[in-house]
Structure 1
Amino acid sequence: MSFPKQIKIPATYMRGGTSKGVFFRLKDLPEACQVPGEARDKLLLRVIGSPDPYQKQIDGLGNATSSTSKSVILAEPTQPDHDVDYLFGQVSIDKPFVDWSGNCGNLTAAVGAFAIHGGFVPKERIPENGICTVRIWQANIRKTIVAHVPMTDGEVQETGDFELDGVTFPAAEIQVEFMDPADGDGAMFPTGNVVDDLDVPGLGTLQATMINAGIPTIFLNAEDIGYRGTELQDDINSDPKALEMFETIRAHGALKMGLIADLAEAASRQHTPKVAFVAEPKDYQASSGKQIRGDDVNLLVRALSMGKLHHAMMGTAAVAIATASAIPGTLVNLAAGGGDRKHVTFGHPSGTLRVGAEAQEINGQWSATKAIMSRSARIIMEGQVRVPGDTF
């Protein structure tokens, strides 16, 4: 009996912010995988090691968390005045599908760095020393993102002293600007309200801020669902009833936001929307053992990704937090003390993060010009990834 040989595909394994992913150039993918569809999805699933009923991704490059089960495809820009097209695929851990419905804000910092490494940015625009500005077209949500990548001696500076809670080692700081961050083509607040009554079976009516910024996100008050806002991963991820509750909230929120037409569709759209809960500042101990003082943050936020509480904060959700905090009356803004705000520092399970946004109301509709945060990125490994030849 004969079995297919493995094939080799050029790939780069990178950390971006508090996420990791496998990066590909579109032109390096097998021809059948250079277009959207089943072949591409099967390839990425096999690379990451999914679907895995054991939920370990032992036979792939994933690390069995939503933060590390990610794939990125970069291509020549399709939009004028951009350097690279960035397509993000969130790979399910235990199910055979790849969710293309949103962006990964954390990996965006790595996209900027890779675009320089990979030759997407013209050499005449890359300074020998200083900052290289990379204009990224985020193809999933059709938005512009600008990454400011430090350069030293003509190369991307990856090491440094910038510390990011949720990442063990310091690195070089990369500032990322999410331009016009409202997700997709619809309104920032799809219901037209900054706070809605969300009816959830078994829970009753919950106050919710449902916003499309960075990524569609449903914000709740922690106390309304029995939490304090100081929870760490095990407090929620080890509680099946809690996870079921959050998935029910997510599904009904998605329906009210117009992201799905039927509740059954939520199961095949795990990446979006996100669910997060907010609370006023309190002292707590982060997952690293670091003591976070309530006086050092404006609010507390916990967010779920792919059905589990995130160990830190998704970059796209941080954009949603920044944008919502800048708009008076949202649950995020109120948890931070209300009023006009251009930036907030929030506490998450791994520590704290400072984010900023600029928002304005025109003819009764809110819009945001940009959201800003700092991240870091580095190449962990580069070379070729192997998959069985009959994968796709």
Structure 2
Amino acid sequence: MTSKRQLRIPATYMRGGTSKGVFFRLEDLPAQAQAPGPVRDALLLRVIGSPDPYGKHTDGMGGATSSTSKVVIISPATQPGHDVDYLYGQVPINDAFIDWSGNCGNLSSAVGPFAIANGFIDAARIPDNGIVTVRIWQANIGKTIVAHVPVAGGEVQETGDFELDGVTFPAAEVQLEFIDPADDGEGEGGAMFPTGNLVDELDVPGVGTFKATLINAGVPVVFVDATALGYDGTELQGAINEDANALGTLEAIRAHGAVRMGLVADVAAAAKRPLTPKVAFVAPPKDYVSSSGKPVAAANIDLLARAMSMGKLHHAMMGTASVAIATAAAVPGTLVNAAAGGGTREVLVFGHPSGTLRVGADVAQVDGKWAVTKAVMSRSARVLMEGAVRVPGDAF
């Protein structure tokens, strides 16, 4: 039996926010994998180690969770006024496909640092010490992200004292601006709220009827009240991920929400699009203890939020879902706004399983329709390993 040698592909393993993934320059991929399609997907699946019926990613770079099974491709900008194109792929653990339908807000914080370190930014723009502003074209969803990346000694500053709940060690702060993050599509009542309603009645056969806020800002999200699910919003991963009935209920809500939002034609199609929409539940502030054992006081947060990612409760909060939370909280009448106490707000702090996060959004009504111009948050990022990944030559 003959076999092909392993290929050596330059790559960087990076943490961005509470996620990590394998970053590639487009030009470093094998020629036949530089264009979208099954060849590229097969290669990247093998890099991560999916599909893995054991659910461990032992033979790949994946971490066997939705937060750590990701790939990123960076290339020169195709859009005027931008520095790089950023393409993100979410890799399921047990399935043989890659979901390219959305963005990863957490890994967005690593794109600017990667671009600077890999020569995508003109050296004349990089000071010895200061901030480099990197304009990123998020190619999956056609949106602009502006990253403000600290540099020291002419190189990306990765260490610092910025602490992010859900990440063990402090690092340098990277500020992100998500510009015009709502969907550009035309829904019944406007792009941000695809149905035209701030709250819908979502009928889920065999499960029940739920009040839901369906919003597309940062990422499509189906928001429901925690109490409607029998929760109080302080749940940690074990309470949801070890309960098969809970997982089934939340996935059913997500699938029917996807249909109502016009993202898929039917419920069956939602299974082939696990990355989006997200489903999340919210509740008013309440004291709880985070997964790290740190107390979170109700007095220090505006609301509680928990979100599902790839069929499991996320250990912290997805960056894109944070954009949706900030946006929905700023619009009076949504379930998220109600959980936060109503009124108007540009900035809020919400509690998630790992702790808290501060986010902000600028919203306004334009011709009777709600729109969001910008959402802002801070993350951190750093290189974990750089060099090359090895992939069997017959893997794609």
* TM-score (normalised: structure 1): 0.99
- SS at the partner of 2:35? coil
For residues 109-142 of structure 1, the C-alpha deviation after alignment (integer angstroms, 9 at most, x for no partner) is 1001101001111111112111100000000000
For residues 271-314 of structure 1, the C-alpha deviation after alignment (integer angstroms, 9 at most, x for no partner) is 00000000000000100000000111000000000000000000
For residues 238-288 of structure 1, the C-alpha deviation after alignment (integer angstroms, 9 at most, x for no partner) is 011111111100100000000001111111100000000000000001000
Contiguous gaps of at least 5 residues in structure 2: none
Aligned to 1:97: 97
- SS at the partner of 2:325? helix
> Is residue 2:179 matched to residue 1:191?
no
Aligned to 1:264: 268
For residues 38-65 of structure 1, the C-alpha deviation after alignment (integer angstroms, 9 at most, x for no partner) is 0000011000010001111110011100
Aligned to 1:384: 388
Deviation of the 1:202 alpha carbon: 2.2
Moved over 2 A (4+): 183-186
Aligned to 2:252: 248
Deviation of the 1:322 alpha carbon: 0.7
Pairs within 5 Å for 1:324-363: 324-363=328-367
Aligned to 1:84: 84
User: Which whole-Å CA distance do the structure 2 matches of 1:201 and 1:387 have between them?
Assistant: 44
User: Which whole-Å CA distance do the structure 2 matches of 1:129 and 1:24 have between them?
Assistant: 27
Name the CA shift for 1:32/1:184 in 2 (closer, same or farther; >3 Å).
farther
Aligned to 1:297: 301
User: Which whole-Å CA distance do the structure 2 matches of 1:319 and 1:120 have between them?
Assistant: 27
Aligned to 2:54: 54
Aligned to 1:15: 15
Pairs within 5 Å for 1:91-240: 91-186=91-186, 187-240=191-244
User: Which whole-Å CA distance do the structure 2 matches of 1:184 and 1:224 have between them?
Assistant: 31
Name the CA shift for 1:38/1:377 in 2 (closer, same or farther; >3 Å).
same
Deviation of the 1:363 alpha carbon: 1.3
- SS at the partner of 1:22? strand
Q: Is the 8 A contact 1:141 1:184 kept in 2?
A: no
Deviation of the 1:204 alpha carbon: 2.1
Pairs within 5 Å for 1:362-373: 362-373=366-377
% identical aligned pairs: 69
For residues 138-159 of structure 1, the C-alpha deviation after alignment (integer angstroms, 9 at most, x for no partner) is 0000000000000111010000
- SS at the partner of 1:115? helix
Pairs within 5 Å for 1:317-328: 317-328=321-332
For residues 187-230 of structure 1, the C-alpha deviation after alignment (integer angstroms, 9 at most, x for no partner) is 01000011111001123211000000000000000001111100
- SS at the partner of 2:113? helix
Number of paired residues? 392
User: Which whole-Å CA distance do the structure 2 matches of 1:44 and 1:210 have between them?
Assistant: 32
* TM-score (normalised: structure 2): 0.98
- SS at the partner of 2:137? strand
Q: Is the 8 A contact 1:142 1:184 kept in 2?
A: no
Match of 1:306 among 295, 307, 310: 310
Aligned to 1:73: 73
User: Which whole-Å CA distance do the structure 2 matches of 1:97 and 1:240 have between them?
Assistant: 24
User: Which whole-Å CA distance do the structure 1 matches of 2:193 and 2:125 have between them?
Assistant: 38
Contiguous gaps of at least 5 residues in structure 1: none
Q: Is the 8 A contact 1:190 1:258 kept in 2?
A: yes
User: Which whole-Å CA distance do the structure 1 matches of 2:240 and 2:169 have between them?
Assistant: 26
User: Which whole-Å CA distance do the structure 2 matches of 1:46 and 1:183 have between them?
Assistant: 32
For residues 356-387 of structure 1, the C-alpha deviation after alignment (integer angstroms, 9 at most, x for no partner) is 00000011111100000000000000001001
User: Which whole-Å CA distance do the structure 1 matches of 2:214 and 2:112 have between them?
Assistant: 29
User: Which whole-Å CA distance do the structure 2 matches of 1:203 and 1:2 have between them?
Assistant: 53
User: Which whole-Å CA distance do the structure 2 matches of 1:382 and 1:240 have between them?
Assistant: 38
- SS at the partner of 1:166? coil
Deviation of the 1:184 alpha carbon: 4.7
Q: Give 2:221's aligned amino acid.
A: T
User: Which whole-Å CA distance do the structure 1 matches of 2:355 and 2:208 have between them?
Assistant: 32
Q: Give 1:282's aligned amino acid.
A: K
CA RMSD of aligned residues (A): 0.7
**Higher mean displacement: 224-233 or 177-186:** 177-186
User: Which whole-Å CA distance do the structure 2 matches of 1:67 and 1:254 have between them?
Assistant: 22
- SS at the partner of 1:97? coil
User: Which whole-Å CA distance do the structure 2 matches of 1:189 and 1:270 have between them?
Assistant: 20
User: Which whole-Å CA distance do the structure 2 matches of 1:280 and 1:315 have between them?
Assistant: 21
Q: Give 1:319's aligned amino acid.
A: V
- SS at the partner of 1:376? strand
Q: Give 2:317's aligned amino acid.
A: M
- SS at the partner of 2:67? coil
